[in-house]
Chains A and B, each alone.
Chain A
Amino acid sequence: MWREWLPFWHPGVSPHGDDTDLLFAGLLFISALVLGLLFFLLALFCVRYRASNLADRGDRIRKSWHWEVSWTAASFVGFLGLFVWGAVIYFEIFRTPPDELTVFVVAKQWMWKVQHAGGQSEINVLHIPVSRPIRLVMASQDVIHSFFIPALRLKHDVVPGRYQDLEITADKPGRYHLFCAEYCGTEHSGMTGEIVVMEAADFAAWLAQQMPSNSLAQEGGALFRELGCSGCHGGGSKVHAPPLEGLYGNLVPLADGSFVTADDKYIRDSILLPRSQIAAGYEPLMPSFEGKVSEDQLLRLVAYIKSIGGQQP
């Protein structure tokens, strides 16, 4: 495409990465122009108007404000252009990812634990198929980390207490660095890994090879019973608890009259802070599982609840 006509251009690994690279090239070009002009003028004035040199110093500029307004306006317009350019790409980078291929990532001191929907898990490595948008759902077990893939020009902080969605798409097979980019303690610089991008067939083969015993949703179902959730939310329960089949992605009416969408965050908050959003028509009886369930287990429970019916939120 037209970008190949730019000198020194080489396409990167993702379309958004290319957009960012073009922006970077533009910023470099403009900066080089401005800096070049500045250094030229500084050098020119220093040479021509050095004290020992007899140059024409009469007729100094009187009405300085013409110049002031001009270069202020020029700066402002230039900056506005750069702002819009950067903002447009930013919004595309962080739009809500499609739900088709979801991978869960749990960040903890000092490793990345990756879980694929089918139950395959890996540590500090993320295998993904080429040219497909992958939705990462990220959580932190302890402190703030940051998921950084330089080849994709992409990063986002992973903050404890919340889920973070991130879409990644890689168009070239290969191995790319994964870094933690938010200082997180002793082994922060050791919390690195790889993104392995494979052709579709290779990726399918790799998935099959991992021999997971159960998918995440199946493990979530087992947890659902072990932790006693089915005791209240199950069919034969005497306790009046909201049914969870078909819940995912739909609107939930709350006791205070508002509505909330049952997305991943809602499920997680309901398990950890059940009294924060009471469903309409129900008593606030559910106990909190804060401290009794890890981020890995939470992801499995969320996967399970997704699997028992519902829609994309």
Chain B
Amino acid sequence: MNEDNYLNAGYSLRSWFFTTDHKRIAILYFASLIFFFFVGGAAATAIRIELATPQADLVSSDMYNRLFTMHGIIMVWFFLIPSIPNTLGNFIVPLMIGARDLAFPRLNLLSWYLFMLGGAVTLFAILAGGVDTGWTFYTPFSTLYSNSYVVAAVMGVFIAGFSSILTGLNFIITIHRLRAPGLTWYRLPLFLWSLYATSVILVLATPVLAMTLVLIAVERVLGVGIFDPKIGGDPLLFQHLFWFYSHPAVYIMILPGMGVINELVSCFSRKQVFGYKFVAWASMAIAAVGFLVWGHHMFVSGQSLLASLVFSFMSFIVAVPSAIKVFNWTATLHKGSIHFDAPMLYALAFIGLFTIGGLTGLFLACLAFDVHATDTYFVVAHFHYIMVGGMVTAYFGGLHYWWPKITGRLYPEYWARAAAVLIFFGFNLTFFPQFVLGAEGMPRRYHVYPPEFQVWNVLSSGGAVILAIAYLMPMFYLGYSLFFGRRATANPWNAPGLEWQTPSPPPEHNFDTQPVVTRAPYQYSPDFKAEPQNA
């Protein structure tokens, strides 16, 4: 790097671990998330190897139960929830908005330390012997019957929850107060609308999880029965409290991905996103209505039929804004000028895989079908299509798109395209057979299973091998690009956003002069040239 940028602004450990620069904090998160992705991925690998045969051969039942619990806890709280917001969001939001940093840089650093502390406590729970309750901690099993490190795991997640809250708070205030002159709400890139909606969920839903986890810990440690039916407690109260957070949480785990897709589809079609306002408000609608559907996890739990009716109805309503987004992205391609760089391949994969995941969500929202399919592999396939096929794909797409900005290097394009295609193929081979398994009645969280389910399990495990290799590929070529990649210019994609109007990598203070925004986002001229937002 010739000029001064945030990476060479200091090389000491102190300059990294006491930084308040949002860009460096994003890198800190990025490194931690790679670690947690590996831990969760290792659990998944063990699970899929075990499930290749109907009987137990790799691990004991107790160990298997700890593996799927660990996979869920790590992937949900220590990978997916922080993924896009804390890496791409932390790095790009101030740049996209024309600011020098987030509103509260020290809270940003604190959120990373809380995340690491929560991760350490959870890792302790895992290494000390594990947790075997499932990531959902259902009572009374988790409070009265489990002989595992429930309190430690719950406390680890509790601490990490504060990291979520601080992140959401920071983004909300930043988007409200730190926008560049001329950057009105309707001139914001849609990535920011999505992160705003995500942040509303982060700040409002996470506290309810915090309280629920405290109650589990209190019940377990003090032996008092809050959810214990023997003294009149109600196990279903736990489920309501838990899912009141955890359903909105799944929208935390997709909205940022949708936000990234807006950026990718517009840039690589050289065209503004079709129906900007509809897409923007669809994000807000998903966040709002997402708080009203939690009971669709409880259709056969014993809640009243009327409650199930209401939650099913609301679940269909919440699907409408997602459908709107898919139609809008497709319409964006119409009469565009489409380039098939790696980020676009990821974006196209997202649209397909998310739609499959979303459609199968409709299956599950449908009361009578859910009676059969709930607690089977159908649900497992559904949420993996959205969280992995959707969110992780979008994460990789965004990572490749903003890689030149973040690192100042270009990644090797052909390797990247190959990895994207292999991920798509491996992912479908891993998870599509699981829809069949679920429809045939194979329950989830099963260590051993009847032999007639083996064929589909073998396909799924085979797919998992391919997927694992495909996910490793970017490690290698992105790592390679850090040292040997061609240097990137400020705007390698010729895109109009403010983040592209500053050098790659950006200087520590982001912009030499305050950008002033004069036009809407995604303005490409009829000959597909970008018109920068601040020109």
> Whole-angstrom distance between the alpha carbons of A83 and B363 in the complex?
10
Closest to A156 in B: B300
Indicate which residue in A83, A94, A154 contacts B365 across the interface (CB closer than 8 Å): A83
Given contact pairs A75-B323, A93-B371, A182-B138, A148 touches B230 in the complex (Cβ within 8 A): no
Indicate which residue in A23, A143, A146, A291 contacts B375 across the interface (CB closer than 8 Å): A146
Contact (Cβ within 8 A) A150 B372: yes
Question: Quick one: CB contact mask for B139-161 with A, threshold 8 Å, 1 for yes?
Answer: 01100111000000000000000
Asked if B443 is at the interface of the complex by the 8 Å CB criterion, the answer is yes
Asked if A142 is at the interface of the complex by the 8 Å CB criterion, the answer is yes
> Whole-angstrom distance between the alpha carbons of A144 and B336 in the complex?
54
Contact (Cβ within 8 A) A185 B366: no
Indicate which residue in B323, B371, B445 contacts A155 across the interface (CB closer than 8 Å): B371
Contact (Cβ within 8 A) B366 A82: yes
Asked if A127 is at the interface of the complex by the 8 Å CB criterion, the answer is no
Contact (Cβ within 8 A) B443 A148: yes
Contact (Cβ within 8 A) A20 B369: yes
Q: Which of B65, B232, B336, B443 counts the most chain A CB atoms within 10 A? A: B443
Residues of chain A within 8 A (CB-CB) of B359 are 31, 34-35
The number of inter-chain residue pairs (CB within 8 angstroms) is 247
Indicate which residue in A71, A144, A273 contacts B138 across the interface (CB closer than 8 Å): A144
Asked if B88 is at the interface of the complex by the 8 Å CB criterion, the answer is no
Contact (Cβ within 8 A) A51 B339: yes
Interface residue stretch chosen among A97-105, A187-195, A239-247, A300-308: A187-195
Give the A interface residue count (CB, 8 A): 81
Asked if B278 is at the interface of the complex by the 8 Å CB criterion, the answer is yes
Residues of chain A within 8 A (CB-CB) of B369 are 20, 23-24, 27, 86
Asked if B352 is at the interface of the complex by the 8 Å CB criterion, the answer is yes
Asked if A290 is at the interface of the complex by the 8 Å CB criterion, the answer is yes
Residues of chain A within 8 A (CB-CB) of B320 are 72, 75-76, 79
Interface residue stretch chosen among A38-46, A225-233, A252-260: A38-46
Given contact pairs A79-B320, A186-B65, A190-B448, A42 touches B348 in the complex (Cβ within 8 A): yes
Q: A9 to chain B: closest CB distance in Å?
A: 15
Contact (Cβ within 8 A) A87 B312: yes
> Whole-angstrom distance between the alpha carbons of A38 and B449 in the complex?
36
Given contact pairs A177-B450, A183-B134, A91 touches B305 in the complex (Cβ within 8 A): yes
> Whole-angstrom distance between the alpha carbons of A287 and B502 in the complex?
78
Interface residues of B in 335-352 (CB under 8 A from A): 335-340, 348, 351-352
Q: Which of A51, A55, A157 counts the most chain B CB atoms within 10 A? A: A157
Residues of chain B within 8 A (CB-CB) of A143 are 138, 140-141, 144-145
Given contact pairs A86-B366, A87-B367, A49 touches B337 in the complex (Cβ within 8 A): yes
Asked if A213 is at the interface of the complex by the 8 Å CB criterion, the answer is no
> Whole-angstrom distance between the alpha carbons of A278 and B232 in the complex?
16
Closest to B351 in A: A42
Residues of chain A within 8 A (CB-CB) of B363 are 24, 27, 31
Contact (Cβ within 8 A) A148 B326: no
Asked if A296 is at the interface of the complex by the 8 Å CB criterion, the answer is no
Contact (Cβ within 8 A) B338 A49: yes
Question: Quick one: CB contact mask for B430-471 with A, threshold 8 Å, 1 for yes?
Answer: 000000000111011111111000000000000000000000
Asked if B10 is at the interface of the complex by the 8 Å CB criterion, the answer is no
Interface residues of B in 359-391 (CB under 8 A from A): 359-360, 362-363, 365-372, 374-376
Q: A246 to chain B: closest CB distance in Å?
A: 29
Indicate which residue in A19, A79, A179, A189 contacts B362 across the interface (CB closer than 8 Å): A79
Given contact pairs A19-B368, A64-B275, A150-B440, A45 touches B312 in the complex (Cβ within 8 A): no
Residues of chain A within 8 A (CB-CB) of B328 are 68
Asked if A5 is at the interface of the complex by the 8 Å CB criterion, the answer is no
Residues of chain B within 8 A (CB-CB) of A159 are 229, 235-236, 301-302
> Whole-angstrom distance between the alpha carbons of A42 and B326 in the complex?
11
Asked if B269 is at the interface of the complex by the 8 Å CB criterion, the answer is yes
> Whole-angstrom distance between the alpha carbons of A19 and B339 in the complex?
47
Contact (Cβ within 8 A) A57 B372: no
Q: B279 to chain A: closest CB distance in Å?
A: 10
> Whole-angstrom distance between the alpha carbons of A142 and B234 in the complex?
13
Contact (Cβ within 8 A) A82 B235: no
Indicate which residue in A76, A82, A93, A189 contacts B447 across the interface (CB closer than 8 Å): A189
Indicate which residue in A41, A58, A87, A155 contacts B330 across the interface (CB closer than 8 Å): A41
Asked if A238 is at the interface of the complex by the 8 Å CB criterion, the answer is no
Q: B38 to chain A: closest CB distance in Å?
A: 25
Contact (Cβ within 8 A) B61 A38: no
Residues of chain A within 8 A (CB-CB) of B339 are 50-51
Asked if B30 is at the interface of the complex by the 8 Å CB criterion, the answer is no
Asked if B475 is at the interface of the complex by the 8 Å CB criterion, the answer is no
Residues of chain B within 8 A (CB-CB) of A155 are 300, 371-372, 374-375
Contact (Cβ within 8 A) A27 B366: yes
Interface residue stretch chosen among A111-119, A160-168, A215-223: A160-168
Asked if A153 is at the interface of the complex by the 8 Å CB criterion, the answer is yes
Asked if A89 is at the interface of the complex by the 8 Å CB criterion, the answer is yes
Contact (Cβ within 8 A) B355 A34: yes
Asked if B17 is at the interface of the complex by the 8 Å CB criterion, the answer is no
Closest to A37 in B: B330
> Whole-angstrom distance between the alpha carbons of A290 and B312 in the complex?
37
Interface residues of A in 2-30 (CB under 8 A from B): 16, 19-20, 23-24, 27
Contact (Cβ within 8 A) A79 B367: no
> Whole-angstrom distance between the alpha carbons of A186 and B319 in the complex?
36
Contact (Cβ within 8 A) A82 B362: yes
> Whole-angstrom distance between the alpha carbons of A45 and B337 in the complex?
10
> Whole-angstrom distance between the alpha carbons of A16 and B232 in the complex?
35
Contact (Cβ within 8 A) A90 B61: no
Contact (Cβ within 8 A) B140 A160: yes
> Whole-angstrom distance between the alpha carbons of A181 and B376 in the complex?
7
Contact (Cβ within 8 A) B316 A83: yes
Closest to A166 in B: B300
Residues of chain A within 8 A (CB-CB) of B449 are 189
Contact (Cβ within 8 A) A181 B375: yes
Given contact pairs A146-B300, A189-B446, A46 touches B338 in the complex (Cβ within 8 A): yes
Chain A to chain B contacts (Cβ below 8 Å), 12 pairs: A38-B330, A46-B333, A49-B338, A60-B271, A67-B331, A75-B324, A143-B138, A143-B140, A150-B441, A156-B300, A179-B441, A183-B133
Q: Report which B residues bind A (CB closer than 8 A).
A: 61-62, 65, 132-134, 138, 140-141, 144-146, 229-230, 232-236, 269-271, 274-275, 278, 299-302, 305, 308-309, 312-313, 316-317, 319-320, 323-324, 326-328, 330-331, 333-340, 348, 351-352, 355-356, 359-360, 362-363, 365-372, 374-376, 439-441, 443-450, 526, 528
Q: Report which A residues bind B (CB closer than 8 A).
A: 16, 19-20, 23-24, 27, 31, 34-35, 38-39, 41-42, 45-46, 49-51, 55-58, 60-61, 64-65, 67-68, 71-72, 75-76, 79-80, 82-83, 85-91, 93-94, 109, 142-144, 146, 148, 150-151, 153-157, 159-162, 164, 177, 179-190, 192, 273, 276, 290-291
Q: List 3 tightest A-B contacts by C-beta distance, closest first.
A: A161-B229, A150-B441, A86-B366
Known: A35-B356, A35-B359, A79-B319. 7 other contacts (CB 8 A): A38-B352, A51-B528, A86-B369, A109-B145, A159-B229, A183-B444, A290-B230
